[in-house]
Structure 1
């Protein structure tokens, strides 16, 4: 399944092409598989004309070792753009081999700390890279 039950209902030509490409290459548009309020799904806003849309996506392989538990829009990261940050809660099964034995150990969850994006000293280097 390429798109989920909570996908965008009004799809333009670019959206249709994206869905076709994802079907062709066995990819999955993850944004539509998790239920959220409509306000929390818009990834782009234009304040002057009061327009908003879902145009940023997280796309993965349909068969993957990475498990996604949630995809949502993070509005707190202001980096000089009219797009909002799209985040995904993931879980990776990392397997290690110790020595000659087939001794498998499951690693802990990998987490990313996004609260740092609220700090101007953290955001400044990213703004500089975007302007370069």
Structure 2
């Protein structure tokens, strides 16, 4: 938390992500006086419930943070599967230790990222999110209208 507070200082950021991901919980840990409403994960749905209902701009640790309502899905990723690992700093840092350059951290042997997950250095839930994003991007239908003039 201390490291995150230092990174946030002087920044304007948006806290966004899926419903129940812990956005408001994280903000409460960064600034306990906020006392933002948080909810339990629904056992029936196996996901969070919409607790945050409006965007709030909060002064947290010297940063302005917009706490936003969660979303249940996000469809468009304007990146390739090769670019995706760069959006996961812990994976980007470990990638040079993978056996193969361009490792996507999925089925490749001697993958430093998969080893880090196995050894508890990277949370399995974080890696599972990465795999889910990879599959969404890989299965996206091309937008043929993008390059039309």
> What band does the TM-score fall into relative to the shorter chain?
under 0.3
Write 1 or 2 for the structure with the bigger share of strand.
1
TM-score (norm 1): 0.22
* Greater helix proportion: 2
Give the TM-score, by structure 2 length: 0.20
